[in-house]
Structure 1
Amino acid sequence: MKSGHTLIVNLSFLLASLLCSVIGAEIALRFYYGSQDNVPLYLASEACPYIYGLNPGHPEINSMGMRDREYPRKRSPNTLRILLLGDSVTYGSGVKADKTFAKKCEQRLLKSLGNVEVINAGIPGYTTYNEVFFYQNKAKDYKADIVILALCLNDIVNPQLHWMDNEAAVSKRHVQDAAIPNLVDHQQRVSSLISSYARYSWVKHLALYRLINSYMQDRWLRERRQHFDKRLVEIDGRNWPTYVTFEDTLSLQVLMDDRTPEWEWMTALLDQLFTSIRDQGATPILLILPLGYQLDTDYPFLPQARIKTFCQRKEILTIDPLPAFRLHQNEQIYLDSLDIWHFTEKGHSIVADELSAFIDSLVVHRTDSIPKLPI
């Protein structure tokens, strides 16, 4: 009896010691992380349909919620103002603000054209839906002459899966059906995944989780990559990747068929955005950003061609930097081998070269279909 009682007491002391250690570590880590980043990058936008935005109180973000310097709402005379809409690729995740293709393009155009402003309105996690309403409700106030949408091909993924780590987006509990590319799939499959996540989301608020995640993230990403590498498409004896995000199993192939809900969703929103831009007297341009595995010259799935055909029917100018990227495929254009979306400084430079050359040509060879530019 005595030995059994002693064992219980010892186990109780051990568990209490472990609990105190965990609580102590949590408190210490919260002080440490709190001193590093007590200003959140995102804010929920309850009154606006674009759901969330960047926090103007963050040191890298201006008063309009953009990762850029301050610009007056009214541009100066004889100044060409260009607005770049996009997601984390345009925002420049992984590179400094002045190394993004928006700012590199601005530097090049200042040399060739003179008075030019290129405003970086990229916001991580945004899809075409967010970009449409962000432009209509906020960014249009800049009265840009040219509005460029940088389209990443992962825009057709269910955004709520991508937003699960974004507290500002998650805090807006009701997301409009129009924000979901495939509503049937969302109702039948994705909504249950989101509910499961919500039950355990409190864990991600722990500082200990953040510490463990920082050490384990690369391993988890590699395991997830191996999972997606098993979902390859075989053509003529060769396997090709088609994943567009780590959060879901959606294939790039849905953009190769104009009958899919994802294609219909994306093109309807593009049409809506182009109309809004033209209503403001600006010139819309679509920049189609390539995925890392598309740099292989034999890669068979290129929705870029279909998207350009759609834009041609709508009389929308397009820029496709994929051919330029393929010339540098032996260089490190993407942040790492797992990241097929975000560019290194070299990747941003390639996009900036393509953008600035296109804008230069646009200014030199003006047509009646393009509104008058101020320079």
Structure 2
Amino acid sequence: MNSNSSTRRRRVPILALLAGGLTFVPVSAAPAQRENVWLCQVAPNPDMTYMLQPNSSFVTFGVPFRTNELGFRDGPIREKTPSTLRIMCVGDSVTFGTGVTNEQTFPNVLESRLQALASPGTVIDVINAGVSAYNARNIRGLMETHLPSLRPDVVVYTFVENDMDDSLSVGPGGWLITLDPTQPPDAPFMMDDFPGLWLIQRKRMDTSGFLSRIKGLFDTQFNEVCATPPPLLLGNHPETLRRWGMFAAELDRMKALCDQAGVPLLIYAFGLRGNAEPIVTRLKGLCDERGLPLATTLPIFEYSTYTDTHSLGYDSHCNPLGNELMADRLQSFLVEQGVLPGDFFARPIPVQPYDERFDPALSASLEAKALSAPSEIDITGGSGIIGVLAGIEANGMMARTGLVRLGGPGDTIQVEVSAPLSSPEAPQWLSAKIEGVAVEGTTEAVAGRGLCSFPIPDGLHQATVEVEFTAHGPARIPRPEDRVRGAATQTVQIHRIARIERAEGI
């Protein structure tokens, strides 16, 4: 889960509702004083990209916390002795503990519980190495940097579905910006919760006044997005396969690092029963292939009750009770895997009988719902937005590329578009790839409005298709200081995208 992107999480508390890939309908608004205020610096390992500034005091939703010498939200690193059992928890803001005190984060709850059962002279050291907004590459970079010196006895990676998002980077003043350093500066920022974020941004454009935004924000379309697993991570479309492929490669690297250090790696997946089953199914396949133990939070969190019972209420991160349950589930997982040597403990460690089984039919139904794309996306009218996966802002301005999915039937993709930066000397025009295949289209992108048409390849006329548009010609690429304020690359302006038969039109 992410917590400190200047455009998504930190300065606009309402946007924090989308933290962690869990698009979320709140039960209350975050009070204005509950801001996330923490600053970052460039990390020593480029794959980490950034780290929290070490030995500094910050707040997470108004809760004070302090970083240690490594920039972790934890106490100073203790010397490891033969009587120390060290567990290293890596992950994003679920591990970090957005919105709760240090003592209430699940790594620290786990440490307190195990220490109370430990033998005299034994030190149970659970290191909270979670960093808000980290993706899988960032997490692997952190492991690569710190495993040799920390020498843990076990590593627990808490997976969240937005670990496949692009990486944030450090902007002016230490604020994070939506710019992945591995991508071109005009590329869109890819994230699994994009449709929900789009709807929130659109509501902020269409309404005024904080209370009116809260009242009118969560309409039927937003509720539908909240209840649907992220389409970007499901199916066998090109970007989905690319995201999972990159994640699988990072998982291989994490395992190799732990194997080299002689340390077991355990995967602990955050998700809600009744929502996360399709993602968990895919993750389980990867873990089984690699012999990696997997436990999830499906036995403890239900989609229908999580917001009221286990979340912060104004944000999707766990409240203290949610963190308590996460610590208990992890404790049982560690015991089941035999990674807590008995000679470190004076008393038996309690183990709860958590049932990881779920209904395959429900998982298939949830995935089918996520893959049921609209046949038309009306950017101007704000409908069909669950089909927008990346690169098109709430005002229709597109980054260098934009990614959408459209359901069938139909043999043509037609786009209503304006080219505000076009000139005779430097024209703007669109090209498209449909399911990864470049197609030739007709283009009339002009300063007013024009139509672009792209034929859908044979064999796909009845199927849902993923379409990647590329804008050629001039672009406005924001400066880093503008990105801190939420600016993004702008090329053409998309008004409407529809799937039609050639004889039809928008």
Instruction: Give a deviation string over 1:250-271, Cα, whole Å, max 9, x none.
Output: 6443599996111111111111
Instruction: Give a deviation string over 1:214-252, Cα, whole Å, max 9, x none.
Output: x84x865776654862664xxxxxx94234xxxxxx644
More strand per residue: 2
Separation in 1 of the partners of 2:236 and 2:104? 31
Cα offset, 1:188, TM superposition: 6.1
Cα offset, 1:138, TM superposition: 2.7
CA 1:86–1:80: 2 relative to 1, 3 Å? same
More helix per residue: 1
Separation in 2 of the partners of 1:257 and 1:321? 29
Cα offset, 1:111, TM superposition: 2.6
Kept in 2: contact 1:104–1:349 (CA 8 A): yes
Of residues 163, 174, 185 in structure 2, which corresponds to 1:155? 163
CA 1:360–1:228: 2 relative to 1, 3 Å? same
Instruction: Give a deviation string over 1:42-79, Cα, whole Å, max 9, x none.
Output: 2222663311101113130011111111123x411132
Cα offset, 1:317, TM superposition: 1.2
Instruction: Give a deviation string over 1:5-62, Cα, whole Å, max 9, x none.
Output: xxxxxxxxxxxxxxxxxxxxxxxxxxxxxxxx9x953222266331110111313001
For residues 3-14 of structure 1, the aligned pairs below 5 Å read none
Query: Which structure 2 residue ranges, 5 or more long, are not aligned?
Result: 1-34, 58-65, 191-207, 346-506
Of residues 234, 242, 254 in structure 1, which corresponds to 2:229? 242
Counting matched residue pairs gives 282
CA 1:144–1:327: 2 relative to 1, 3 Å? same
Of residues 327, 333, 345 in structure 1, which corresponds to 2:310? 333
Separation in 1 of the partners of 2:259 and 2:252? 11
Separation in 1 of the partners of 2:97 and 2:75? 15
Of residues 68, 72, 75 in structure 2, which corresponds to 1:66? 72
Secondary structure of the residue aligned to 2:163 is coil
Cα offset, 1:187, TM superposition: 6.6
The question of 1:79 aligning with 2:87 is answered no
Question: Higher relative CO (CA 8 A, sep ≥ 6), structure 1 or 2?
Answer: 1
Instruction: Give a deviation string over 1:155-188, Cα, whole Å, max 9, x none.
Output: 222334x9889944449x77125xxxxx9xx976
1:20 paired residue number: none
Kept in 2: contact 1:286–1:319 (CA 8 A): yes
Instruction: Give a deviation string over 1:246-304, Cα, whole Å, max 9, x none.
Output: xxxx64435999961111111111111111111111110111011xxx333xx484221
Separation in 1 of the partners of 2:216 and 2:233? 21
Instruction: Give a deviation string over 1:180-224, Cα, whole Å, max 9, x none.
Output: xxx9xx976449xxxxxxxxxxxxxxxxxxxxx9x84x8657766
2:326 paired residue number: 351
2:128 paired residue number: 120
2:39 paired residue number: 41
For residues 205-224 of structure 1, the aligned pairs below 5 Å read 216=210
Separation in 2 of the partners of 1:130 and 1:166? 21
The residue type equivalent to 1:267 in the other structure is: A
The question of 1:260 aligning with 2:236 is answered no
Separation in 1 of the partners of 2:163 and 2:44? 22
Kept in 1: contact 2:167–2:181 (CA 8 A): no
Secondary structure of the residue aligned to 1:329 is helix
TM-score by length of structure 1 reads: 0.64
For residues 1-375 of structure 1, the aligned pairs below 5 Å read 40-45=38-43, 48-59=46-57, 60-72=66-78, 74-114=79-119, 115=122, 116-160=124-168, 167-170=174-177, 175-177=181-183, 189-190=188-189, 216=210, 226=219, 229=222, 232=225, 240-243=227-230, 251-253=232-234, 260-290=241-271, 294-296=272-274, 299=275, 301-326=277-302, 329=305, 332-336=309-313, 339-340=315-316, 342-363=317-338
2:463 paired residue number: none
CA 1:47–1:164: 2 relative to 1, 3 Å? closer
Same amino acid, percent of matched pairs: 21
Kept in 1: contact 2:229–2:276 (CA 8 A): no
Kept in 1: contact 2:311–2:319 (CA 8 A): yes
Secondary structure of the residue aligned to 1:150 is strand
The residue type equivalent to 2:311 in the other structure is: Y
The residue type equivalent to 1:332 in the other structure is: T
Kept in 2: contact 1:90–1:100 (CA 8 A): yes
Kept in 2: contact 1:284–1:316 (CA 8 A): yes
Kept in 2: contact 1:257–1:263 (CA 8 A): no
Cα offset, 1:126, TM superposition: 0.5
TM-score by length of structure 2 reads: 0.48
Kept in 2: contact 1:82–1:145 (CA 8 A): yes
Separation in 2 of the partners of 1:328 and 1:354? 20
**Structure 1 stretch displaced more, 258-267 or 125-134:** 258-267
